Amino acid sequence: MGTLHIVATPIGNLEDVTFRALRVLREADWVLAEDTRRTRILLDHFEIPKKPSSLNAHNEAERIARILEALGDARSVALVSDAGTPLVSDPGARLVAAVAAAGHRVEAVPGASALLTALCVAGLDTSRVLFLGFLPRKRGDQTRLLEQQRGRPETIVLFESPHRVAATFAALAQVLGDRPACLARELTKRHEEVRRDTLSALAAHCEAEPPRGECTIVVAGADEAEIGTAPMGAGFSATTDAEIDAAIQAGLARGESVRDLASALAAATGRARRDLYARALALRADASATRDASDDSEGDVEHDARPDAPPEARPYAEPAAASDEEAAAAVPDEPNSRRRRRAR
């Protein structure tokens, strides 16, 4: 049985590499790297005579069979990313799943991580953290994802390209409100920058002075007044139909759209979005029908049905039909055409 080593490497400063990482890379029979050129810099610096092979998002699936074959021959394979810890917004998840399913050993060699490094210097709460990776490129998908985070108390960490970081700060401020945040750029490198401010201020800064290098964004979680305002609230977990119905009804009462409720519930429960969407539509229709019935009942006038009640308080009864003579006497003189219309 072979071993797949998941090896963390420095995110900028080569002095951050661990002794264990260097030993594993020296002893490995095969080194896999997201970008072989960057990995060669690390290997050459520490005089490790290895020639890495590429494993990236485009060729991961086709590489798996060869890697499993090597592990079947009891070989040692090391996986590294461009920088930091592999699999964190980087390829490798499918490989690890396949190796584990085949019964081989998967071993992590911990080390540098931009996520944890930025979190440590941001000056925000670290007791509960939510990592979003890179936000979706499409504006609609991005907005829906951020809307699901409203009302959650966790500190949010995400990665972003320097070319999009200003727009991302603006989107965060628009959806989440102008929360405290931190921009951590070029961490552990010579031009490291850690800027703390509100989301809107950071958006303005990045618009005026476009940043360079890798960017990590840290955003404060919802405060006490905000907690619970997200479609599913903080820490939502529903398992029964009754709990899901209650969550949908609460969301509808807050003015959430059926589409957003279905998406949030699907993400939180693993149920089919189509089924949740149909259920939300049905509950919204039931709520509308109930309101209409309530409005109609409020228009009815209650009367006293007691036999000794005064005439004006007794239940309304249709008067007896008037005779033709009485009806004629009750109608004042007027043109014949108008009288005929009333008779009809």
* Contact yes or no for 288/323 (Cβ under 8 A): no
Residue 337 lies in a domain: no
Q: Distance (Å, rounded) from C-alpha 284 to C-alpha 281? A: 5
Note whether 151 and 134 are same-domain residues: yes
Q: Which residues of the chain have pLDDT under 70?
A: 227-239, 292-344
CA gap 244, 248 in Å, rounded:
6
For residue 32, the domain's CATH number is 3.40.1010.10
Q: What is the pTM of this model?
A: 0.68
What pLDDT is attached to residue 229? Answer: 55
Q: Do 90 and 22 have their domain in common?
A: yes
Q: Specify if 299 maps to a domain.
A: no
Q: List 160's β-bridge partners, or say none.
A: 215
Alpha-carbon distance values, 73 to 29, 100, 162, 214, 218 (Å): 11, 16, 43, 39, 44
Residue 140 per-residue DSSP state:
H
User: 137 and 74: one domain?
Assistant: no
Tell me the residue range of the domain where 10 lies.
3-112
- Which CATH number does the domain housing residue 166 bear? 3.30.950.10
DSSP structure class, residue 312: G
129 forms beta bridges with: 155
What pLDDT is stored for residue 335 in this prediction?
46
Regarding whether 212 and 251 lie in a shared domain, the answer is no
In order, the DSSP letters of 39-56 are HHHHHHHTT-----EE--
pLDDT tens readout for residues 202-219: 999 999 999 999 999 999
Residues 131 and 184 both lie in one domain? yes
Q: Indicate the number of domains in the chain.
A: 3
Report the candidate in 113, 122, 116, 120 with the shortest Cα–Cα distance to residue 183.
Answer: 122
* Ramachandran angles phi, psi of 57, nearest 5°: -65, -25
pLDDT of residue 208: 97
Q: Does residue 224 sit within a domain?
A: no
End position of a domain, from candidates 187, 219, 251: 219
Q: How far is CA 317 from CA 297, 303, 320, 322, in A?
A: 19, 11, 9, 15
Instruction: Confirm if 81 and 57 have CB atoms less than 8 A apart.
Output: no
Q: In what helix (H) or strand (E) does residue 97 lie, and over which residues does it extend?
A: helix 93-101
- On whether both 88 and 9 belong to a single domain, the answer is yes
- pLDDT score at 294: 67
pLDDT at residue 236, rounded to an integer: 55
Q: What is the pLDDT of residue 344?
A: 44
Integer Cα distance of 75 and 82 in angstroms: 23
The model's pLDDT over 47-93, given as tens digits with 9 standing for 90+, comes to: 999 999 999 999 999 999 999 999 999 999 999 999 999 999 999 99
Q: What φ, ψ does residue 196 adopt, rounded to 5°? A: -115, 130
